[in-house]
Amino acid sequence: MKSIPLKAEVRERTGSNEVRRLRKEGFIPAVFYGPGDVHILLKIFKKDFSKIIHTRAGEHAMVELHIQNETGEEKYLSVIKEIQHDPVSDLIIHADFEHIQMDKPFLFRLPIEFVGTPVGVTEGGVFAPHLYEIDVICAPKDVPDIVEVDVSEIALGDSIHIKDISIPNGEIKNDPEETIATVVKPRGIEEVVEEAEEELELVEGEEVAEVEEGEEEKTETEGEETKPEQ
């Protein structure tokens, strides 16, 4: 995976008023978490960041931060640690970046791209993906943009699992038995109707039982009321 350059500037001021001002000017407030406990408050152009997350790697992209400060420019290789969205508009309102080193293993969450048409689909089945991303440990220099999963050999009723794929120079951290995708038999109208009828019978049976129980309680109560005094 190639890193994508992104210009950033150090921001000195904080607070809600400053954040609102930045957003009006087309910036996104951000934080870069560097080596150790170092963290730097940044501002990045929204349009530049949007271009990155709309690449093939998306939010999993490696980013080379070009941080402008009083002494000049410093470059850091990083990954996007977190993106915060406005709960109403869904617009990006904040981003965090985490420092990585090219030769040191790091845990990446990589998107899955399915390749091929399953045999089971040509047999009338329906392709059902279960995972859209996986966790992989590898050095940044070896990390792929995406994980291609060939599903062309999946027959009707069969599945492909984590144990069936591999990443060159990387280790997949998901459970080996976890299902990535399967091809299932389509549900016909008869099956849907049958399930609905079974549910209806179950509900009706419960209602009848409640009615019978209520009648028994009523009979017992009437019997106690008519019992002569000794």
Q: What is the pLDDT along the chain (230 residues), one digit of tens a residue?
A: 788 999 999 988 778 888 888 888 999 999 999 887 888 999 999 999 999 988 888 888 899 999 988 788 889 999 999 999 989 888 899 999 999 998 899 999 999 999 999 999 998 899 999 999 999 999 998 988 889 999 999 999 999 999 999 999 999 999 999 999 999 988 654 454 455 566 666 766 665 555 556 555 555 555 555 544 44
Per-residue exposure over 88-105, b if at least 16 CB sit within 10 Å of its own CB, e if not: eeeebbebbbbbbeeeeb
- Res 192: pLDDT: 42
30 near 97, Cβ under 8 Å? yes
Cα separation, 167 vs 51, in Å, equals 27
- Res 20: pLDDT: 85
- Res 116: pLDDT: 95
76 near 38, Cβ under 8 Å? no
Q: Compute the CA torsion angle 150, 1, 138, 76 (nearest 10 deg).
A: -160
Rounded to 5°, angle at Cα 141 from 137 and 145: 75
- Res 213: pLDDT: 62
**Rg of the chain on CA atoms, in Å:** 29
Q: At the topology level of CATH, where does 107-184 sit? A: RNA Polymerase Alpha Subunit; Chain A, domain 2 (2.170.120)
Q: Which two tokens stand for residue 42?
A: 């940044």
Q: What is the DSSP letter of 104?
A: S
Q: Which two tokens stand for residue 15?
A: 């607070």
Which homologous superfamily is 4-100 in? Ribosomal Protein L25; Chain P (2.40.240.10)
Specify the residue for token string 């640690």.
81
3-state SS track over 122-184: HCCCEEEECCCEEEEEECHHHCCCCEEEECCCCCCCCEEEHHHCCCCCCEECCCCCCEEEEEE
Q: Per-domain residue ranges for the chain? A: 4-100, 107-184, 188-215
- Res 130: pLDDT: 95
172 near 144, Cβ under 8 Å? no
Q: Which two tokens stand for residue 184?
A: 């299932």
3-state SS track over 11-72: CCCCCHHHHHHHHHCCEEEEEEECCCCCEEEEEEEHHHHHHHHCCCCHHHCEEEEEEEECCE
Cα 140 to chain centroid distance, Å, stands at 21
Cα separation, 230 vs 216, in Å, equals 25
- Res 223: pLDDT: 55
Beta-bridged to residue 69, according to DSSP, are 72
